[in-house]
Structure 1
Amino acid sequence: MSPSDSGAPKPDTPTSVIRVTGRIATPGRVVLACIPILLILATPFLPFAITPTLWFGVPAVLVWMAFTVILTVVLLNVIDLGIRRQVSEHAEADAFDGGEHA
């Protein structure tokens, strides 16, 4: 029985394909990844972090940090989606061109 017949999910695209597709760390992706970092670094300077403020019955800083963690996960998923789209477009173009790399 071959691995493709076992019902196991296919592995992700190998990194060798990513190397051929072009730049992964584009300026837009880097800016998206830096947004949560900047928000976390700005936390001590925000007014609600200095004063004892409650949001939803929880200290505001804890709610803010939970928000930045969720934002980090969402933005990294958006970046990953863009990378996967780039790899799949390259794979489609490669199949159309006959599999030859320039």
Structure 2
Amino acid sequence: MPHKRYNATWAKIGNASGFRLSAGFFKENPQFAGAKGAVEVISSDTLLVRLQPQSTEQEQAEDELMLSLFLDFLMKQALSNPSELEAYTEAMAAEDDELTAGVVLDN
């Protein structure tokens, strides 16, 4: 990703002080709007800013909502069509174990 510079100016913000970034920064990087982070002083004229994009939390919430809606759909289908349900047998479990043998899952 190419490096791009944005102007920052010191500003009084309420009872605190802060830096303002040009509107172009947020226009070109909308994932940082509302983000939280930290600033590390590297030298007398250099700061390192690390931000946690808010979209990560929002995407996780959306994923959880979609999973919940999908599970609700499955439950509704199962309750409205009980004749189509099939018991999970030991043979099915053995077949699943065979298919997933040697697969390593990351946390």
Task: Judging by fraction of residues, say which structure has more strand.
Answer: 2
With normalisation by structure 2, the TM-score equals: 0.33
Select the structure with the greater relative contact order (CA < 8 A; seq sep ≥ 6).
1
Structure with the higher helix share, 1 or 2: 1
Rg comparison, structure with higher value: 2
Per the normalisation by structure 1, the TM-score is: 0.35
